[in-house]
Amino acid sequence: MVAAGRPELNRIHRGDCVELMGRMEPGSVGLVVTSPPYNIKNSTGNGLKCGAGGKWPRARLMGGYGAYGDDMPAEKYDEWQRRCLGAMMRVLSEDGAIFYNHKWRVQNGLIQDRRGIVGGFPVRQVIIWQRSGGINFNPGYFLPTYEVVYMIAKPGFRLKEGASKAGDVWKIRQESGNPHPAPFPVELASRCIAATDAAVVLDPFMGSGTTAVAAMNNGRGWIGMESSAEYCAMAEERIAAAGPPPAASAGPEREGN
């Protein structure tokens, strides 16, 4: 159970992140590092929408994220993500920042940047995460090889001394062997965390526990939120294998369904 205040540290809290963050004290964390579902099954042109898989019949996200389908109408999805960002902003301290990883994509022949989500939030910088390769059979545009990380910062946010030298294009390979359908690499989360002095990192879409592993590697505390019981268990296992067991290791807290 997440009591009002700050949820227990170094644990994954199972449930809807907007609801869980709503129970937190305003300004109670210094850093958020996260990557939401991309609404990928609603995408035009990749065959995932109709369920046929198109050119990617074996795509790992064909089934969505377990119980979560990842196929909202576009406007509803943007509204939901704006609610999520609003909840993150509320729990963020006045010197904190959100590193929000997302992907631009071509929809009906036009680039869909994510202004519909981040418009109006204090985006200070867009970091390019240059991935290793990708797949694109569409002759209408070049193979997309990057994702973005929006650095959404409260006014008092400053990078740690020397961190700005890293620049705003980060070349980081995806990792293999993670059973989650859409993880980001530990290195990506680690760079965000290491660039700040934040003592506690929140990831409201914890998935397989990548942000927790990166936080532990950097000697920081963490708070995880995740709606899927399956991914909570996956993350707990991975986190236990990556480092010393968290102080409270009784398994993920159960919230909601």
Ligand X SMILES: C[S@@+](CC[C@H](N)C(=O)[O-])C[C@H]1O[C@@H](n2cnc3c(N)ncnc32)[C@H](O)[C@@H]1O
**Alpha-carbon distances of 115 from 8, 111, 112, 119, 122, rounded to whole Å:** 33, 11, 8, 5, 12
Of the pair 46, 227, the CB lying nearest ligand X is at: 227
Which residue lies nearest ligand X, judged by its C-beta? 207
Selected binder of ligand X within 52, 53, 68, 107 (CB under 6 A): 68
Q: How far is the CB of 109 from ligand X (least distance, A)?
A: 26
**Structure tokens given for 200:** 């506690």
Tell me: does residue 184 bind ligand X (CB under 6 A). yes
Tell me: does residue 141 bind ligand X (CB under 6 A). no
**Structure tokens given for 168:** 């705003």
Of the pair 43, 227, the CB lying nearest ligand X is at: 227
Q: Tell me the site size for ligand X, rule CB under 6 A.
A: 21
Task: Lay out the site mask for ligand X across 221-240 (x = CB under 6 A, - = otherwise).
Answer: ----xxxx--x---------
* Dihedral in degrees, nearest 10, Cα atoms 85, 143, 73, 178: -60
Tell me: does residue 43 bind ligand X (CB under 6 A). no
Q: Which burial class, exposed, middle or buried, applies to 256 when counting CB atoms under 10 A from its CB (0-12, 13-18, 19+)?
A: exposed
Residue with tokens 């046929």, as numbered in its chain: 52
**Percent of the chain as helix, strand, coil, to the nearest 5:** 25, 25, 50
Q: Which burial class, exposed, middle or buried, applies to 79 when counting CB atoms under 10 A from its CB (0-12, 13-18, 19+)?
A: middle
Of the pair 28, 178, the CB lying nearest ligand X is at: 178
Element (H, E) at 221: strand 221-226
Selected binder of ligand X within 37, 96, 224, 246 (CB under 6 A): 37
Tell me: does residue 150 bind ligand X (CB under 6 A). no
Of the pair 72, 106, the CB lying nearest ligand X is at: 72
Of the pair 56, 95, the CB lying nearest ligand X is at: 56
Residue with tokens 């129970």, as numbered in its chain: 23
Contact region with ligand X (CB under 6 A), list: 35-43, 44-52, 89-97, 147-155: 35-43
Taking the C-alpha atoms of residue 150 and residue 190, their distance in angstroms, rounded to an integer, is 15
Q: How far is the CB of 14 from ligand X (least distance, A)?
A: 8
Of the pair 170, 205, the CB lying nearest ligand X is at: 205
Identify whether the C-beta of residue 34 lies closer than 8 Å to the C-beta of residue 92: no
Do the bridges between strand 221-226 and strand 200-203 make them parallel or antiparallel, or are there none, so unpaired?
Answer: parallel
Q: How far is the CB of 36 from ligand X (least distance, A)?
A: 6
Do the bridges between strand 105-107 and strand 92-102 make them parallel or antiparallel, or are there none, so unpaired?
Answer: unpaired
Selected binder of ligand X within 2, 12, 17, 195 (CB under 6 A): 17
Dihedral of alpha carbons 230, 233, 234, 235, sign = positive
- Which residues of this chain interact with ligand X, rule CB under 6 A? 16-17, 35-37, 65, 68, 180, 182-184, 204-205, 207-208, 210, 225-228, 231
